[in-house]
Amino acid sequence: MEILSNLALGFSVALTPFTLMLAVIGCFLGTIIGALPGLGPSNGVAILIPITFTMGLDATSALVLMTSVYYGAMYGGRISSILLNIPGDEPALMTTLDGYPMAKKGRAGDALVLSGVASFVGALLATIGLMFLAPVLARVAYLFGPSEYFALYLLAFCTLGGLASNNQAKAAIAACIGLGIAMIGLDTVTGMPRLTFGNLHLMDGVDFLVAIVGLFAIAEVFFFIESHGKDTSIGVKLEKVTLPIRDIVSSGWTMLRCSVLGFIAGVLPGAGASLGSFLAYMSEKSIAGPNGGFGTGVPKGVAAPEAGNNAAAGGALVPMLTLGVPGSGTTAVLLALLMTLNITPGPTLFAERPEVVWGLIASLLIANFVLLLMNVPLVKIFVRVLQVPAWVLLPGVTMISFVGIYSLTGSYFDLLLMVAFGALGYVLRKLDVPTVPIILGILLGNEMEENLRRAMVISDGDWTYLFSSPIAIGLWIAAVAGFMAPLFLRKLLKKPQMITD
């Protein structure tokens, strides 16, 4: 019954005309962002945060707007995957495997509608799961002390590095870059400047938004300059859109299974949506067997990754809201949003600011229905967006990034830093070094160090205190396993490569 009263509170916040309007605008913008090749949930949300912040929205409204954008971008990502064979981000890669062949067979409309419904099922189930699981986990989180939090952060880095990248050493380097940058600025305990090298601009540390926009948005521009926007023009035409009821019904179980799987993958800290869509696709592929035709454009192959992907996006909100540990690149960006709005995620958020949490959950439920409407009957509008040429889109993205950061901090130094992060992001991605651990490191670095130091103060310097509780030991074991296991499993679970024409 508690959930019902909480939900009533949430809907009383979310159903005000203003919040509702923000949710609709967010869904619309998000779907466009997701559909645009070269923009995905993470960089799309990243460039919008500084602007939302400068607009002076209150915490709940800003959160509703940005999570609608997040969900919308997750939905919209499938449009460019299916029609252009260009995944907007990593999790959408799995959708291209069957979506693009299906579109080439002349069933582009069916693929879009089917994946829209699959997205809806995945996201709706995950939001309901979030509703039930988050309060429970929030209660467990009260048991977490400094040593548990330290181990939890470590787990996030390890699973992210182990599962989401191809080379553990490179993922660890990325995490170190992020943590190292987080150390710059005033020491939180002693108040003394650290590693600023006498530069006054660095006294406040490096703003995580500057790093995020640089690494995600500016780096993308460099990639488009390298390819001269050539990848963007080929694509499949969309003729008529009908409701493929037979396909939807026949892949019903697939959607349900994949939603559950995706949700679980999303809840794991550090694993996130990429793992969700990957596991969903691979498990359905093995259930269907070699005669299932996966990879040739079967409806189930379109439904599976989309349900898994969107369920994982919802699941990733669970550790983000209850523990302050993001489960994916985009939730890392959302965590940055919370921190900008001065909301501290964690168990106290549920107790002290229920209107924020439940308002958010209620607007996610509303956003889902809005998105289903936008993405099934109105999908043709968004397909138009794909025709925006890269030579207009990317300069536009750059200018929006500059204005956003500039109006947030008003300093040319931060703009220079953003360009530097963009160049760094380009080189690192070329070298196959993942950039998400860098963001995570910058976001969590100070918290991680503070918890370590607090633990050592409590135990008076006895390091065995870090392993003193069952929860902490469990997290350490999971961290080591998450980091090492892919070394042995990599041969078994080979990622499918993108198909080329």
**Residue 38: closest CA among 1, 92, 111, 119:** 92
- 137-196 positions binding other proteins, by CB under 8 A: 166-167, 169-170, 172-173, 176-177, 179-180, 183, 187, 189-192, 194-195
Q: Which of 264, 436, 452, 478 binds other proteins (CB under 8 A)?
A: 452
Q: Which of 426, 442, 443, 476 binds other proteins (CB under 8 A)?
A: 426
- Using the rule CB under 8 A, give the single segment among 131-139, 274-282, 298-306, 456-464 that binds other proteins: 456-464
Q: Which of 8, 432, 474, 499 binds other proteins (CB under 8 A)?
A: 432
Nearer to other proteins, 2 or 460 (CB): 460
- Contact between 407 and other proteins by CB under 8 A: the answer reads yes
Residue 433 in contact with residue 213, Cβ under 8 Å? Answer: no
- Contact between 403 and other proteins by CB under 8 A: the answer reads yes
Nearer to other proteins, 20 or 176 (CB): 176
Nearer to other proteins, 368 or 435 (CB): 435
Separation of alpha carbons 334 and 418, rounded Å: 19
- Using the rule CB under 8 A, give the single segment among 71-79, 96-104, 125-133, 448-456 that binds other proteins: 448-456
- Contact between 484 and other proteins by CB under 8 A: the answer reads no
- 214-253 positions binding other proteins, by CB under 8 A: 218, 221-222, 224-226, 228-229
* Structure letter (DSSP) for residue 342: T
Element (H, E) at 475: helix 470-489
Separation of alpha carbons 216 and 436, rounded Å: 9
Separation of alpha carbons 319 and 205, rounded Å: 26
Type of residue found at 70: Y
Nearer to other proteins, 125 or 154 (CB): 154
Q: Which of 143, 423, 477, 499 binds other proteins (CB under 8 A)?
A: 423
Nearer to other proteins, 250 or 407 (CB): 407
**Residue 273: closest CA among 125, 94, 420:** 94
Nearer to other proteins, 134 or 390 (CB): 390
- Contact between 495 and other proteins by CB under 8 A: the answer reads no
- Contact between 136 and other proteins by CB under 8 A: the answer reads no
Separation of alpha carbons 294 and 299, rounded Å: 9
Q: Which of 55, 234, 351, 378 binds other proteins (CB under 8 A)?
A: 55
Q: Which of 162, 301, 422, 425 binds other proteins (CB under 8 A)?
A: 422
**Residue 282: closest CA among 256, 254, 263:** 254
Shortest reach from residue 218's CB to other proteins, in Å: 7
DSSP assignment of 191-237 equals --EES-TT-GGGTT---HHHHHHIIIIIHHHHHHHHHTTGGGS----
Shortest reach from residue 483's CB to other proteins, in Å: 12
The site for other proteins, by CB under 8 A, has a size of 64
Residue 275 in contact with residue 265, Cβ under 8 Å? Answer: yes
Shortest reach from residue 110's CB to other proteins, in Å: 33
- Contact between 270 and other proteins by CB under 8 A: the answer reads no
Shortest reach from residue 65's CB to other proteins, in Å: 12
- 186-215 positions binding other proteins, by CB under 8 A: 187, 189-192, 194-195, 197
Locate 411 and state its tokens.
């300093």
Binding mask 459-478 for other proteins (x = CB under 8 A): -xx-----------------
- Contact between 449 and other proteins by CB under 8 A: the answer reads yes
Strand, helix or coil for residue 186 = strand
Locate 364 and state its tokens.
């996610």
Nearer to other proteins, 231 or 355 (CB): 231
Locate 350 and state its tokens.
């549920």
- Contact between 21 and other proteins by CB under 8 A: the answer reads no
Element (H, E) at 490: none
**Long-range Cβ contact pairs of 336-340 (< 8 A, separation 24 or more):** 336/46, 336/49, 336/208, 336/209, 336/212, 336/439, 336/443, 337/45, 337/49, 337/52, 337/62, 337/63, 337/66, 338/63, 339/208, 339/443, 340/49, 340/53, 340/209
Strand, helix or coil for residue 185 = strand
Separation of alpha carbons 211 and 445, rounded Å: 14
- Contact between 54 and other proteins by CB under 8 A: the answer reads yes
Nearer to other proteins, 373 or 456 (CB): 456
Shortest reach from residue 494's CB to other proteins, in Å: 16
**Residue 315: closest CA among 129, 57, 83, 58:** 129
Nearer to other proteins, 90 or 449 (CB): 449
Q: Which of 396, 467, 470, 474 binds other proteins (CB under 8 A)?
A: 396
Q: Residue 471 to residues 131, 148, 202, 466, 468: CA-CA distances in angstroms?
A: 24, 7, 37, 10, 9
Site residues (CB under 8 A) for other proteins? 51, 54-55, 166-167, 169-170, 172-173, 176-177, 179-180, 183, 187, 189-192, 194-195, 197, 218, 221-222, 224-226, 228-229, 389-392, 394-396, 398-400, 402-403, 406-407, 412, 415-416, 418-419, 422-423, 426, 430-433, 448-449, 452-453, 456-457, 460-461
